[in-house]
């Protein structure tokens, strides 16, 4: 049985207190929400913070405010289970509930939060293993080793961004609010993820994710389609988020297509968007967009399923997402 290492557990009640504890303890501290990603990582000795600071008692991180007209603010500690059932999210941003419902299992959705999901560690078959397994292959670049077993000549880690909500947030144009003792800032979801499996976030370790701001809906529609082995629960090995805005004549005035779970960061396919924008939202242009997504997808051999088949599925899942919107 894998055991957690020893650590101090802190439960601040305000954002200011949480930021101060983090600043005082320094790099040995890490925030935790539901712990469904952090605690397994600690058991595998991939992350070993000496102090763990819970964000679950920070009232500001537990609220949902606004609606599709004004824009919606979702606190980082809102549970995935609540995201799935929230009446405003279901009415105005159903794509978020649609994606959240596919995350892990009901039990884990009762623990896991939206913030933890957006900050999920990148995943790889050579990394998501216990300490002894990783030691037997002399570890890898991402933690304790000096070679990447997926691309041995590479100086970069290709571990995969595997959150279901990340491609959706990029597609709908969400923003994240980050707070520390040093600063408060907003960052676009589209600019938040680095194409690097080790340094995967544009976030300093001391920054607390406070909330997620969704833009007003203004008539746009969005869909998320997920490929995984088991329908009951599994991480995505491909996720396609599609977002379109149509004018009255049925012409696409704007579009975003974002692929998840095929690279260290979500991949926005501008070529596919260009095939849709300014055109009728019809089968010919949907097929062209799906082809562009297929051409752009470069999955690697470090998750479930054969990579060439995952590439083929990019076309199919883009079609599914766009057909749902048409
Ligand atoms: C069996 C299993 C199946 C899973 N399946 C899926 C799946 O299908 N799809 C999917 O997307 N995920 C999946 N997950 C991953 C995980 O359960 C979810 O992503 C969940 O939403 C993580 O949220 P959490 O609150 O538990 O995160 P935590 O584990 O608490 O935190 C995750 C990371 O975010 C940091 N963090 C958390 N909150 C904050 C904050 N407010 N500010 C700053 N840093 C913060 C933590 O330090 C940590 O690095 C699965 C996990 C398991 C164990
Ligand atoms: S992609 Fe390479 S360096 Fe990154 S976790 Fe996998 S094996 Fe390790």
- Residue-wise pLDDT for 137-187, tens only, equals 999 999 999 999 999 999 999 999 999 999 999 999 999 999 999 999 999
Q: Is the CB of 200 under 6 A from ligand 2?
A: no
Q: Give the pLDDT confidence of 10-58 residue by residue, as tens digits.
A: 999 999 999 999 999 999 999 999 999 999 999 999 999 999 999 999 9
The whole-angstrom separation of Cα 41 and Cα 63 is 28
Q: Give the pLDDT confidence of 282-297 residue by residue, as tens digits.
A: 999 999 999 999 999 9
Residue 321 burial class via C-beta count within 10 angstroms: exposed 0-12, middle 13-18, buried 19 and up: buried
- Which residue's alpha carbon is nearest to atom 2 within ligand 2? 148
The whole-angstrom separation of Cα 211 and Cα 176 is 6
Q: Is the CB of 157 under 6 A from ligand 2?
A: yes
How many whole angstroms from its chain centre is CA 202? 13
Q: Kindly list the protein residues whose Cβ atom lies closer than 6 A to any atom of ligand 1.
A: 30-38, 40, 55, 76, 80, 103-104, 108, 111-113, 115-117, 119-120, 163-164, 208-209, 233-235
- Which residue's alpha carbon is nearest to atom 43 within ligand 1? 208
- Which residue's alpha carbon is nearest to atom 31 within ligand 1? 116
Residue 286 burial class via C-beta count within 10 angstroms: exposed 0-12, middle 13-18, buried 19 and up: buried
pLDDT in the model for residue 234 = 95
pLDDT in the model for residue 141 = 97
- Which residue's alpha carbon is nearest to atom 9 within ligand 1? 103
Q: Residue 302 CA: which ligand 2 atom is closest?
A: 6
Task: Outline where the chain has alpha helix (H).
Answer: 15-25, 38-43, 80-85, 87-92, 94-100, 106-109, 114-118, 131-136, 165-172, 270-276, 283-296, 307-325
Ligand nearest to the CA of 164: 1
Tell me how crowded residue 225 is: count the other CB atoms within 10 A of its CB.
Answer: 24
Q: What proportion of the chain, given as a percentage, has pLDDT over 90? A: 97
Q: Quick one: which of 66, 111, 112 has its CA closest to 89?
A: 66
pLDDT of residue 319 exceeding 90: yes
Ligand nearest to the CA of 160: 2
**Average confidence score pLDDT of the chain:** 97
- Which residue's alpha carbon is nearest to atom 45 within ligand 1? 31
Residue 69 burial class via C-beta count within 10 angstroms: exposed 0-12, middle 13-18, buried 19 and up: exposed
Q: Residue 165 CA: which ligand 1 atom is closest?
A: 11
Q: How far is the CA of 32 from the centre of ligand 1 (A)?
A: 9
pLDDT of residue 226 exceeding 90: yes
pLDDT in the model for residue 147 = 96
Pocket of ligand 1, candidates 10, 120, 142, 303: which has the most ligand atoms within 8 Å of its Cβ, to mutate?
Answer: 120
The whole-angstrom separation of Cα 266 and Cα 259 is 6
Q: Give the pLDDT confidence of 68-117 residue by residue, as tens digits.
A: 999 999 999 999 999 999 999 999 999 999 999 999 999 999 999 999 99
pLDDT in the model for residue 232 = 87
pLDDT in the model for residue 1 = 81
């Amino acid at each position: 049985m894998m055991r957690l290492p020893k650590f101090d557990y802190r439960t601040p009640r305000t954002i200011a207190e949480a930021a101060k504890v983090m600043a005082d303890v320094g790099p040995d501290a890490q925030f935790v929400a539901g712990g469904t990603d952090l605690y397994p990582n600690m058991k595998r000795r991939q992350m070993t913070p000496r102090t763990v600071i819970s964000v679950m008692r920070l009232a500001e991180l537990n609220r949902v405010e606004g609606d599709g007209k004004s824009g919606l603010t979702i606190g980082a500690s809102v549970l995935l289970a609540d995201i799935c059932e929230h009446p405003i999210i279901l009415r105005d941003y159903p794509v978020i509930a649609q994606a959240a419902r596919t995350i892990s299992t009901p039990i884990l959705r009762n623990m896991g939060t939206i913030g933890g999901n957006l900050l999920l560690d990148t995943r790889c078959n050579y990394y998501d293993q216990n300490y002894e397994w990783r030691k037997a292959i002399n570890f890898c670049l991402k933690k304790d080793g000096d070679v990447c077993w997926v691309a041995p000549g590479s100086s970069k880690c290709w571990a995969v961004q595997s959150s279901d909500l990340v491609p959706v947030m990029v597609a709908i144009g969400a923003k994240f609010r980050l707070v520390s003792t040093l600063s408060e800032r907003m960052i676009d979801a589209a600019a938040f993820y680095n194409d690097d499996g080790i340094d995967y976030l544009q976030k300093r370790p001391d920054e607390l994710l406070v909330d997620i701001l969704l833009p007003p809906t203004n008539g746009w529609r969005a869909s998320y389609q997920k490929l995984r082995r088991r329908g009951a629960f599994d991480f995505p090995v491909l996720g396609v988020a599609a977002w379109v805005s149509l004018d009255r004549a049925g012409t696409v005035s704007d579009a975003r297509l974002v692929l998840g779970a095929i690279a260290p960061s979500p991949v926005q396919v501008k070529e596919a968007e260009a095939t849709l924008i300014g055109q009728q939202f019809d089968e010919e242009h949907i097929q062209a967009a799906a082809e562009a997504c297929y051409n752009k997808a470069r999955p690697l051999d470090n998750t479930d399923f054969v990579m060439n088949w995952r590439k083929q599925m990019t076309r199919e899942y883009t079609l599914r997402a766009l057909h749902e919107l048409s």
